[in-house]
Amino acid sequence: MSDGKKNPDKGMDLRYMVPALEVVWSEPPTYNEPPVNSGAGGGADTRGIVGIVRADLKAMRDTETTMLTDANVAVSEYENVRMYTLDHMGSIFGQAAAGHIEYRSNSQGGVSQTQEPNEFRASAKKFAATMNPAMERALEQIGGVLEKMGEYIALVNQSGQVFAQADDRSRFPEPPGA
């Protein structure tokens, strides 16, 4: 490392930290059901006069659907990179590259060949010992971001369910003097 500090991950296999991801919703759950863990069916009486609350559920659903579509693309691309990287870690930096073959003509008109060693193999192995764990950490971090994206989409959905449930349970107050 250029700052003079030793890399604690050098030579480590961190594949166990790299999450495999999938998007579990093909489309967002309906707003017509009570949200999970909404407290429905128990707890304190929350009825009363509340000010005007406005929520554009169509805009919320459109945004949620767009995010879900983007999440599907991002997770698919992440999985492509993750699988390629993990499948090729032993050779991605040339650490498994063979040398080259040299052909020489001999005096009898024949051709002989010799396998010359790869002069970069040792440095490629040294470089890979640092870079492979760094790639695994990068994949872990990207996977973490995508997981947070999924959690955010679920929270947007739950917000839509909460607003829809609040609207469904809304009642006009009793008229004055009734």
36 vs 95: which has the higher pLDDT: 95
- Residue 32, pLDDT score: 78
What is residue 40's predicted lDDT score, i.e. its pLDDT? 47
- 104-142 confidence digits (pLDDT tens): 777 777 777 776 767 788 888 899 999 999 999 999 999
Q: How far is CA 81 from CA 72, 113, 133, in A?
A: 14, 38, 15
77 backbone dihedrals φ, ψ, rounded to 5°: -65, -40
The answer to which of 4-8, 9-13, 65-69, 86-90 has the lowest mean pLDDT is 4-8
pLDDT value for 42: 46
pTM flag (> 0.95):
no
Would residue 100 be called left, alpha or beta, if left means φ above 0 and alpha means ψ between -120 and 50 degrees? beta
Instruction: Please report the domains of the chain, with CATH numbers, ordered by start residue.
Output: 15-25+54-169 (1.10.287)
**What pLDDT was estimated at residue 37?**
64
| pLDDT tens, position by position, 21-68 | 888 788 888 877 777 764 445 444 455 555 666 788 899 999 999 999
Sign of CA dihedral 109, 115, 118, 122: negative
